[in-house]
Structure 1
């Protein structure tokens, strides 16, 4: 679960290690270690970058994609449960409030 942030930043057409490191705000070396772990666990695969042979492009494999499909189902199930407890409109307000908080907190961190 702790690697979901990294996996969610891999684009369908692939993403380089440097791009992932920038998005995750970690060093290139740390990202290389994480990429190695995710590849060993079978969530991603890498291919040599055709435009820069010094780097690789990272892709989600079938297992990585299945993880996101499963997560989407879990998120929808949780949302349905929350809506049944507090109502759809109140849940929308909660989500909007959380989005605003995260956005504003990110501004103060920069």
Structure 2
């Protein structure tokens, strides 16, 4: 009977919690990588095409400045939109009784990936 005692169920619960934590961390990391790839793709698509009309072997000073400013603006806008979207999701979840979103999941999935 001692085999089925409370200590075994506590160990199982602890193991399940560890697995859940590990899986959540893995999902966070994968989301961060995906978001970083999306951001890099969008920056390349918008900034490079706008700032480097005739690609050569190296960037001119003006092209370098244009790319830097464009990337800074694009990343700033990306973060602002992400914060707004996350806030909206949190508000909708609260309205539907789901409670608050885990901010660490959101942060690592959006802004921390940069």
What TM-score results when the alignment is normalised by the length of structure 2? 0.35
- Higher Cα Rg, which structure: 2
User: Per residue, is there more helix in 1 or in 2?
Assistant: 2
RCO greater where, 1 or 2, for CA within 8 Å and sep 6 or more? 2
